[in-house]
Amino acid sequence: MPLCPAFCVKLNTVGHFPKAKVLWLGCSAVPQSLATLAGQLRVQALSAGIAMPEQVYRPHLSLYRKCPMPLSPSLPRVPFELGIRAFHLYESESGDQGVRYLIRRTWPLLD
């Protein structure tokens, strides 16, 4: 698996995916290391025969599933940074208690 340096993501925007009904936090500027990692993963997926949608890459942190509408744009926003030192492959598993996200594999990033 290709490697990239560890990086920080500054979460400073709020958004809503209306079709999926997901409220999320995102970043107005994608760090170059994250864009590189996303590009490497896309190449790996395509080479494995996995169809990838042609859409703008929008890194985000999902906050609320089944959110019927976006929050008011007048809400105060406090940006914060996350230090990213690894990335994970998750499997979502639906059950009686809701959805669980199970880590299936972890790749450390370079320090």
> Averaged in consecutive runs of 10 residues, what is the pLDDT profile of the chain (111 residues)?
81 88 90 90 93 87 83 71 92 91 93 81
In a domain, 106, yes or no: no
Number of domains present in the structure of the chain = 1
Predicted pLDDT of residue 2: 55
Q: 44 and 1 in contact (C-beta within 8 Å)? A: yes
Predicted pLDDT of residue 75: 64
∠ Cα 98 87 15 (to 5°): 60
Predicted pLDDT of residue 65: 84
CATH assignment at residue 57? 3.90.1140.10
Predicted pLDDT of residue 99: 85
**pTM, 2 dp:** 0.77
In a domain, 89, yes or no: no
In a domain, 30, yes or no: yes
In a domain, 78, yes or no: yes
Predicted pLDDT of residue 104: 97
